[in-house]
Each structure stands twice: as C-alpha cells, then as structure tokens.
Amino acid sequence: MNDADTAMTDLVLEHLRAIRGDLQGVNARLDSLTVRVSSLENSVASLRVEMTHFRSDIVQLHVDAANMQARLDRVESRLDRIERRLELVDTPI
C-alpha cells in the first residue's frame, strides 16, 4: 500500500468515525423523543378516560333532571287536585 492509499484510507476512516459520532447523537435524541411520545400517548389515554367519565356524569345529570321534572309534574298535578278539592281556585268551565 502506498502513501496515497494510506492517506485515502485514513481520510475514509476519519469520516466514518465522524459519521458514527453523529449517528450516536441522533440515536440519543431519538430515544429521548420516543420517551416523550410515549408520555404524551399515556397522557392522551388518561384524558380520554376522564372525558368518558365526564360524559357519563353528564348523561346521569340529564337523567336526574328528567326524573326531577317528572316528580315536579306529579307534585304539580297533586297540588292542582288539592286546590280544586278545597275550592281554592276556580275550576275552568
């Protein structure tokens, strides 16, 4: 091997070492980003669970409101009947 070949080999090895160093940095950043994305995915999953609970709570509130309205309607009907029996109001003709 002559001096030109040795110089070329050294130059190629130097570049390969630089590329390897750069690649290690890229791999480290990729690992960091992978951890961060996993954390975000877990956060989104938790938010979805919470949203499901909120939806369930809202549905239950609607059911409760409907039940209360039905009870109020029955109370109003009973009150009307009591008022008519006691002749506290004029009965419509």
Instruction: Look at residue 2 in the predicted model and tell me its pLDDT.
Output: 87
Instruction: Look at residue 19 in the predicted model and tell me its pLDDT.
Output: 96
Give the lowest-confidence range in 23-37, 47-61, 76-90: 76-90
What's the DSSP call for residue 92? Answer: P
Q: What is the average pLDDT value for the chain, to the nearest integer?
A: 94
pLDDT in tens, 51-68: 999 999 999 999 999 999
**Range 9-21 average pLDDT:** 95
Q: Residue 67 is encoded by which pair of tokens?
A: 């039940």
Instruction: Look at residue 15 in the predicted model and tell me its pLDDT.
Output: 96
Q: Residue 16 is encoded by which pair of tokens?
A: 């390969």
pTM > 0.85: no
